Amino acid sequence: MTKFLKRVYIFLIVFFMYAPIAVMVVQSFNRSKSRGHWGGFTTQWYLSMFGDRSIMAALRNTLSIAFLSSLIATVISVLACLAIVQMKRRTRRAVMGVTNIPMLNADIVTGISMMLLFLSFGLKFGYGSILIAHITFNIPYVILSIMPRLTALDKSYFEAALDLGASPVRAFFRVVLPELMPGVISGMLMAFTMSIDDFIITHFTKGAGVDTLSTKIYTEVRKGIKPEMYALSTLIFVVILILLLLLNGSRSKAGRKKAPGGRSILEIAPAAFLVAGLAVSACSLTACGSAGEEAGAEASESNVVYVYNWGEYIDPDVIELFEEETGIRVVYDEFETNEIMYPRVAAGASRYDLVCPSDYMIQKMIQNQLLQPLDWMLLPNASGYIGEKYMAQARSFDPGNRYSVPYCWGTVGILYNKTLVDPEDDMESWDILWNPRYKDDILMQDSVRDAFMVALIRNGADSNTTDPAELEAALSSLMEEKPLVQAYVIDEVRDKMIAGEAAIGVIYSGEALYTQEENPDLEYVIPREGTNLWIDGWVIPAGAEHVENAHRFLDFLCRPEIALMNFDYIYYSTPNEGAHALIEDEEVRNSPVLFPELSQYDNLQTFTYLGEAMDRYYNDLWIRLKSY
Amino acid sequence: MIRSDKVRALFAAPYLSWAVIFIVVPLLMVFWYGFTDGAGRLSLANIAIITRPEYLKSLGLSMALSLVSTLLCLLIAYPLCLILTEKKTGRAAVIVLLFILPMWMNTLLRTMAWQTILEKTGILNTILRFLHLPSIYIINKPQAIVIGMVYNFLPYMVLPLYNALAKIDDSVIHAAHDLGADRRQTFLRVVLPLSVPGIVSGVTMVFIPALTTFVISQMLGGNKILLIGNIIEQEFTQAYDWNLGSGLSIILMIFIILNMVIEAALDRAPEK
């Protein structure tokens, strides 16, 4: 009976550990791209993942960083251990104390401290900074795994070898190292695993165009994770699982007696490493073509353009077309919010040539002299095809259109599910977000200006107000609303509304049409009290190194057929009138959601930058709301 | 082993310089930013801000959730490790490996999967509805965050605990039995005290990441629940206030130093 209970207990825990993994495996075969929605069985993601350049690059980075960082950490650690073991007690304690820091310290503090180091000394963020960070947090795992073996090692072996005429180097390799090997290998394996699994430290130390699987997934979480990611993870998991089973099988056949516990990890380690090494080489082989290209391009550093854009905000084919046509290599990187983008560009630690912030952020960057004026002579398509009404709207944050070219625009409105709301309710007013009937059925925007815009406009204030009384009133409205809110989300609102997870969501107009296609029960409205009209525009940072290439890429994006490709891919309203005229589907071309007649509305407000003190104030308000 | 001081210095040099540049200097920078204001003047404002109710509340919530999670991990892992150490065969080792294996699947994806399970229209509720049972709404609530923490950090409790328990020599337990101790006494007087180092290191390894996480609360808390890690992350990546972010990081380090002191005290006890 107790034996049965024990089995049940182990089974329950293993079930708890593996249920989410099973969910992911199932999702890797889901035809629908939407997370909560089963669209039929398919294996297509297992094929398409190999064609996805960014996923393959992230995989290569993840594996090569794990491999290199654990290897370098091991070499440094072995040398260090040999020295530490001979140190005086007090020195040894101090050194081991420092060694423990990265392990004991919170990842977030380690990540931040390294970010501050790199920023302060003007080091560029990139592959190198991630590698350094990973080596740093890997070293303690290796040292702590070698030290016990080394202290237990009988010194007389080494001395006997010397007495027998071996050189110290030979004695080390033939006598000491084999004794340390299990510790070395298990430390290295631990380091390898930690490096693969790390997200937080990489998050703070990564730079332009370099992603590991973790950071790639983090960016994707908001937009909905690409099914290829599930396929890749499943594949990695299955490879490791098979490896373990094989090893276990061969070991039981051999019937060797072994010590209980940790030993088996040590036996598996070399093989796991071999596989990881093979995987790295296989990856670099399959990616041989692109890797070769990149190496070649690295040589001519001038023929590059560093682009920093919102997630999922360009058709990847457009980048390829541009590269083919011009021979300029595009290093492409993504951000999730303006606030995340700003410090990266401001600190100059990542050398972007072309960035796509929103209205108020463009104004902030102009004020802080982070941008350089555009050369409109180099942008014939931009001056030819971007509609005048959009240029006029853009002058509210960029006087004289000197610094930016509008890329996408839209409104913020209410998306609701017709089957989940009462038809009697007035959906065309922001008040619906305060209706207690929809408790836990409301999705709010998780960005400070958008959330406050909703409350300010509902209360009859201007969304660019700096009046503390109006802002405090907006805060209390939002606090009043918070118990009704299911979650504060950015782009996740898309998947959640499609899946019917919530009845009402605050959403950007560009997402509305896509969600309606996936779920016809959804309806988008612009509330009659008014809302925000936003414009995202391309700008060139003051410190850009490839200004001419940046202009070429920007003008390429303004060609009507290219702008149309982007429109078809991202579905956000384009200010490019050449592209608008080319839209074939009349319903889309005349869609009141995507292309509302701006002259009909007199209460659409575009955000302006309110100054640093207001930034700080807004941030305080936000923390007060979130911790309420 | 190494007779010459010079050789020893040469061996230690790579690591010591690495540790100084990439561990000590960065931490000093956190302290520098934490104790100065934007203009570089000395200031305690970034530390003192923790006394404001909204910050205090999220620190308190972080501590409460991470304590509950740590306790749950210990309660789940201890019996598990006891069962595992009983069967001193290869199978136990395989089961231990089962806890490392999930780490090869990306943490973020695994946490995301919990969202898919716990959502209102998620897998759990679909099953419950199918069985005509009442639905469970814990997504975006503290309970979901605790599940995420226990799930993510349970292996960090299991591994050290298992190692500590596996180290206990069978003969010690036999001796206890021979001397007339019953099973309860053997456990309370022999096994439990001997496993204390494992408990301490397991608790550390679960408590600290749980206290400081920002990803789990983001994914399973619907951004409605603000933990101290979320505030720090926002200060650095969104509000661009390194001073305040560093000040809050220093507060987190106090807990870590406390933990080190406790561990050092426990470390010394059995030695002497």
pLDDT value at A263 more than 60: no
Report the share of chain B in percent with pLDDT over 90.
Answer: 49
Residues of B whose CB is below 8 A from A204: 236
Put simply, the answer to whether B12 touches A99 (Cβ < 8 Å) is no
Pick from A84, A214, A260: CB nearest B106: A214
In terms of domains, do A62 and A119 share one? yes
Distance spanning both ends of chain A, measured CA to CA: 50
| Same-domain status, A512 and A622 | yes
Statement to judge: residues A423 and A327 lie in one domain:
no
Task: Determine what percent of chain A is predicted with pLDDT higher than 70.
Answer: 90
Beta-bridge mates of residue A304: A329
- Measured between beta carbons, which residues in chain A are less than 8 angstroms from residue B14? 76, 79-80
Radius of gyration of chain A (CA): 28
Contact B22, A114 (CB under 8 A): yes
Residues A317 and A396 in one domain: yes
Residues in Cβ contact with B85 at an 8 Å cutoff, skipping those fewer than 6 apart: A260, A261, B92, B162, B165, B166, B168
What is the arithmetic mean of pLDDT over B197-211?
Answer: 90
Shortest alpha-carbon distance between residue B219 and chain A (Å): 9
Answer yes or no: do A400 and A453 share one domain.
Answer: no
Q: Same structural domain for residues A501 and A555?
A: no
Whole-angstrom distance, CA of residue B143 vs CA of residue B137: 10
pLDDT at B245 (0 to 100): 92
In a domain, A445, yes or no: yes
Is it the case that residue A563 has pLDDT exceeding 70?
yes
Widest Cα–Cα separation across chain B: 77
| Structural contact between residues A349 and A338, judged by C-beta atoms closer than 8 angstroms | no
Chain B positions in Cβ-Cβ contact with residue A27 (cut-off 8 Å): 113, 116
- Residue A344 and residue A386 in one domain: yes
Q: Report the CATH number at residue A95.
A: 1.10.3720.10
pLDDT greater than 90 at residue A318:
yes
Q: Which residue out of A105, A150, A159 would a mutagenesis test of the B interface target, given it has the greatest number of B Cβ atoms within 10 Å?
A: A105
Q: Is the pLDDT of residue A512 over 70?
A: yes
Q: Which two tokens stand for residue A377?
A: 């002579």
> For A79, which of B14, B79, B163 is closest by C-beta distance?
B14
Give how many domains chain A has, as a whole number: 4
Q: What is the mean pLDDT of chain B?
A: 87
Measured between beta carbons, the chain A residues lying within 8 angstroms of B80 are: 9-10, 13
Q: Is residue A294 part of a domain?
A: no
CB atoms within 10 A of CB A513: 18
Report yes or no on A40 lying in a domain.
no
**Under DSSP, is residue A177 helix (H, G, I), strand (E, B) or coil?**
helix
The whole-number pLDDT of residue A347 equals 75
Determine the pLDDT at residue A36.
65
pLDDT of residue A222: 73
Write the CB contacts of A613 (distance below 8 Å, at least 6 apart in sequence): none
Q: Choose from B237, B259, B261, B263 for mutation: most chain A CBs within 10 A.
A: B237
The predicted pLDDT at position A251 comes to 59
Residue A121: inside a domain: yes
pLDDT greater than 70 at residue A302: yes
Does residue A95 form part of some domain? yes
Enclosing domain of residue A64? 52-249+263-285
| Chain B residues with beta carbon closer than 8 angstroms to that of A80 | 11-12, 14-16
- For the stretch A350-396, pLDDT in tens is 689 999 999 999 999 999 999 999 999 999 999 999 999 999 999 99
- Collect all residues of chain B within an 8 Å Cβ-Cβ radius of residue A238: none
pLDDT band at A254, cuts 50/70/90? Answer: low
Average pLDDT over residues B260-270: 67
**φ, ψ for residue A355 (rounded to 5)?**
-130, 155
pLDDT at position B89, please? Answer: 58
pLDDT at A342: 87
Contact A557, A309 (CB under 8 A): no
Alpha helices in A301-387 (DSSP H): 316-326, 338-346, 359-367, 380-385
Residue of chain A with shortest Cα separation from B81: A10
Choose from B88, B105, B267 for mutation: most chain A CBs within 10 A.
B105
Work out the widest C-alpha separation in chain A, in whole angstroms. Answer: 96
Instruction: Enter the tokens of residue A441.
Output: 């059925």
Smallest Cα distance from A570 to chain B, Å: 24
Strands (E) across chain B are located at none
Interface test with B, best of A16, A109, A618 (most B CBs within 10 A): A109
Q: Find the mean pLDDT for residues B47-59.
A: 92
- Contacts of residue A100 in chain B, CB cutoff 8 Å? 260
Mean pLDDT score, A557-569? 95
Q: Give one DSSP letter per residue of A180-194, joined into a string.
A: HHHHHHHHHHHHHHH
CB contact under 8 A, A615 and B239: yes
Please tell me whether residues A570 and A459 are part of one structural domain. no
Task: Tell me the per-residue pLDDT of A184-198, one tens digit each, with 9 for 90 and over.
Answer: 988 898 899 889 989
Predicted pLDDT of residue A1: 64
SS3 A309: strand
Residue A291 counted as domain residue:
no
Residue A418 inside a domain? The answer is yes
pLDDT tens digits along B217-252:
999 999 999 999 999 998 887 777 889 999 999 998
> Distance (Å, rounded) from C-alpha A108 to C-alpha A200?
6
Lowest mean per-residue pLDDT among A154-158, A494-498, A546-550, B109-113:
A154-158
Contact A260 B117 (CB under 8 A): no
C-alpha to C-alpha distance for A231 and A228, rounded to whole angstroms? 5
B113/A24 Cβ within 8 A: yes
Residues A172 and A274 occupy one common structural domain = yes
pLDDT at B139 over 70: yes
A198 and A145 together in one domain? yes
Q: How confident is residue A286, by pLDDT bands cut at 50, 70 and 90?
A: low
pLDDT the model gives residue A122: 76
CB pairs A-B closer than 8 Å: 305
Q: How far is A523 from chain B (nearest CA, A)?
A: 20
Q: What is the pLDDT of residue A175?
A: 84
Nearest to A225 among B103, B107, B112 (CB): B112
User: Does a structural domain hold residue A37?
Assistant: no
Q: Which CATH number goes with the domain that contains A584?
A: 3.40.190.10
Summarize pLDDT for A4-33 with one digit per residue, the tens.
898 899 899 999 999 999 999 998 998 887
Q: Which of A145-159, A322-336, B19-33, B47-61 has the lowest mean pLDDT?
A: A145-159
Mean per-residue pLDDT of chain A:
87
User: Residue A165 in 3-state DSSP?
Assistant: coil
What is the rounded CA–CA span in Å between residue A437 and residue A108?
39
The overall pTM is greater than 0.90: no
Kindly report, residue by residue over A433-474, the tens digit of the pLDDT: 999 999 999 999 998 899 999 999 999 999 999 999 999 999
Q: Which residue has the higher pLDDT, A123 or A623?
A: A623
Q: Rounded distance, CA A590 to CA A588, Å?
A: 5
Domain ranges in chain B are 1-34, 48-271
Instruction: Based on the fold, state whether residues A621 and A571 are members of the same structural domain.
Output: no
| Confidence at residue A31, expressed as pLDDT on a 0 to 100 scale | 87
Closest chain B residue to the Cα of A4, Cα to Cα: B83
Long-range CB contact pairs, A616-619, < 8 A, 24+ = A616/B239, A616/B241, A617/A468, A617/A471, A618/A448, A618/A449, A618/A452, A618/A471, A619/A448, A619/B234, A619/B238, A619/B239, A619/B241
Range B48-271 has CATH code 1.10.3720.10: yes
Do the Cβ atoms of A104 and B204 come within 8 Å?
Answer: yes
Residues A92 and A238 in one domain: yes
Q: Look at A547-551, B139-143, B187-191 and tell me which has the smallest mean pLDDT.
A: B187-191
Average pLDDT, integer, range B27-55: 91
Is the pLDDT assigned to residue B98 strictly greater than 90? no
- Other beta carbons within 10 angstroms of residue A279's beta carbon come to 16
Question: What is the C-alpha to C-alpha distance for residues A89 and A85, in angstroms, rounded to an integer?
Answer: 9
Give the distance from residue B141's alpha carbon to the nearest chain A alpha carbon, in angstroms: 9
Candidates A13, A110, A173, A627: best to mutate against B (most CBs of B within 10 A) is A627
Which chain A residues are within 8 Å of B24, Cβ to Cβ?
98
CB contacts, 8 Å: A264 with chain B? 90, 93-94, 97
